[in-house]
Amino acid sequence: MSDVRRLPAGNCWYHRCGRCLYEERLNPGYRQSWRCVVLEDWERLFDDFLVRAEAFSLDQQAAGEMWARRFERIVRDRFDCTHYEHTVDVELPGCVYQYDNLCLLRLPRCQGRCRHYKPVDGNTE
């Protein structure tokens, strides 16, 4: 008996770099494990900074200037991700695997055309 294989899904609405976004689009943000670890780290650092700024009663302008300087250092020094690959095509952190706030490598692999296949151009063939 021959080996049955699915057709490629490169033209699918949910397909990104060999990964499937279907579940993420169905329930955005539900799977925290799919989030970009660099962005999560930066968000945690920002939240910690805000707590400290409030504790010291910093005004908004002073806090903004302090955060801008601190963020420059963070961007320069802090990429705790083994999969990080730089690109200029996306916003910070500028990783080829970043899509929205997700890490594409953490999403499930696309198995080819499935029941959720949705062509980008609307053509079903």
Burial 62-93 (b: 16+ CB within 10 A, else e): ebeeebeeebeebeeeebebeebeeeeeeeeb
CA distance 113 to 13: 11
CA distance 15 to 21: 6
CA distance 82 to 37: 10
Task: Report pLDDT for 1.
Answer: 59
Q: What is the pTM of this model?
A: 0.76
pLDDT, block means (10 residues), the chain with 125 residues: 70 90 93 93 94 94 94 82 86 88 94 87 60
Task: Report pLDDT for 60.
Answer: 93
Alpha carbon distances (Å) from 44 to 41, 65, 69: 5, 18, 17
Contact indicator for 21, 30 with CB cutoff of 8 Å: no
Amino acid at 13: W
Task: Report pLDDT for 91.
Answer: 84
Both ends of the chain: CA-CA distance in Å?
26
